[in-house]
Structure 1
């Protein structure tokens, strides 16, 4: 493993019964690097992302964070959820839907993770939560209940909650797909700001212009495989594979991308 390599995904495969959704997916992520996964619906992007922290245990392959195998003991057997908990604490994930606790305030939602995962005191966790809510431009909403927030605001709280774990890697699974169009920009702005801080992240997104702006590299997936990869601007401006050319043309013509 190179000194600056954070994440290694090697020969990843996933099958649901007779349906194979990931085939021999391999890529590395360096510290501070941003990689975007793009592709049509059903191409395996979200499954790949969820396999990285074993929300979807892969059928085959190996995933390593800082050289340590995720989800597998040295003998190859799968870890229990309890054994995996310290590993998952190093990987913050933001989902399509927000999954905030409706009975807790915004501040309490964010403070819960560092208390449970990092063992912080309530006062320290709530102080951290306040700082992170400021980072996502929601310090003024700290005492609100989630149901009083817009979808965009709830997603920004979810981002603050992921940051509260103090993870080494951030995963974003279509973070704007559940939002009304006018709310998308506020979430993308926050992600851009996090990217500018040099945070390592893997993003599954259908926002192609956003991926072009934020990602260092793009992986184009189709049929459960990586069809093309490379620097973001090169992949999108000068696609090499016929399938990626077809995909990008469909977006320009207003066709469905997801």
Structure 2
């Protein structure tokens, strides 16, 4: 992990409400270049909402997100006041924070290769031949180069999710966001997807992972954040947050999920 002082991503006092329910209550954290950050917490704690606010799939209620020194989702108008960006203005920024969802969201009428190449062609204006070569390289990276001509319906859930990861990689993003990427998979298919994510972490990709796979977070993440009720309760290296957590709420969550470390059972 690169431990340079300046963070790649900075989240400051992020808030989000749906109607009268405040889901995020002033979330602040950083992500360094090359770091893998895992967000843990029970359902409803705000993890996925936080992730979706980072690239403005959900518009935050307040706070700021800065990627590589550039403010995401907002810009100054001619009078110097901040305004929200349009979807067109946001598109290049969103491409720099690629999202891998719980569902695979592949186009069923397109081959695997075309699914991966579509973004570079449409958003990046990349020539088709170059985009297809990039797609094949990204499919090789997730061990699916031999399935380039197949269609999604012919793939297992684990294979489809790996295609979705290849599609994210083809955007050449600065950060990859994973929103519970194994939650829709049968248990026997989880390992193949986690294996690819581990390989990306070992390459030094900058990633934020929302997951319920506690043991995987302990193994792969450089840092863990535990969220509850829209707040960050605890954050630090996995050995501290998972292995020797200081917060009672964290310890209770780990006992419930079977992720408690030594001395926390």
1:94 CA drift (Å): 0.1
Runs of 4+ in structure 1 deviating by more than 6 angstroms, as ranges, are: none
Match in the other structure for 2:40: 38
Match in the other structure for 2:68: 66
Match in the other structure for 1:5: 7
Give the 5 Å matches for 1:48-59: 48-59=50-61
1:59 CA drift (Å): 0.3
Q: Secondary structure at the match of 2:60?
A: coil
1:3 CA drift (Å): 5.3
Q: Which of the residues 110, 121, 132 maps onto 2:127?
A: 121
Q: Note closer, same or farther for the CA distance 1:131–1:244 as it changes in structure 2 (3 Å cut).
A: same
C-alpha separation in 2, matches of 1:229 and 1:219:
4
Give the 5 Å matches for 1:7-156: 7-74=9-76, 75-156=81-162
1:252 CA drift (Å): 2.1
- The aligned length equals 253
* TM-score, L = length of structure 1: 0.96
Match in the other structure for 2:263: none
C-alpha separation in 2, matches of 1:73 and 1:56:
17
Match in the other structure for 1:164: 170
Q: Which of the residues 206, 213, 233 maps onto 1:207?
A: 213
Q: Note closer, same or farther for the CA distance 1:3–1:183 as it changes in structure 2 (3 Å cut).
A: same
* TM-score, L = length of structure 2: 0.94
Q: Secondary structure at the match of 1:99?
A: coil
Match in the other structure for 2:193: 187
C-alpha separation in 2, matches of 1:199 and 1:228:
24
Which structure 1 residue ranges, 5 or more long, are not aligned? none
Q: Secondary structure at the match of 1:172?
A: strand
Q: Secondary structure at the match of 1:27?
A: strand
1:47 CA drift (Å): 0.1
1:73 CA drift (Å): 1.1
1:4 CA drift (Å): 3.8
C-alpha separation in 2, matches of 1:143 and 1:233:
43
Q: Secondary structure at the match of 1:88?
A: helix
CA RMSD after TM alignment: 1.2
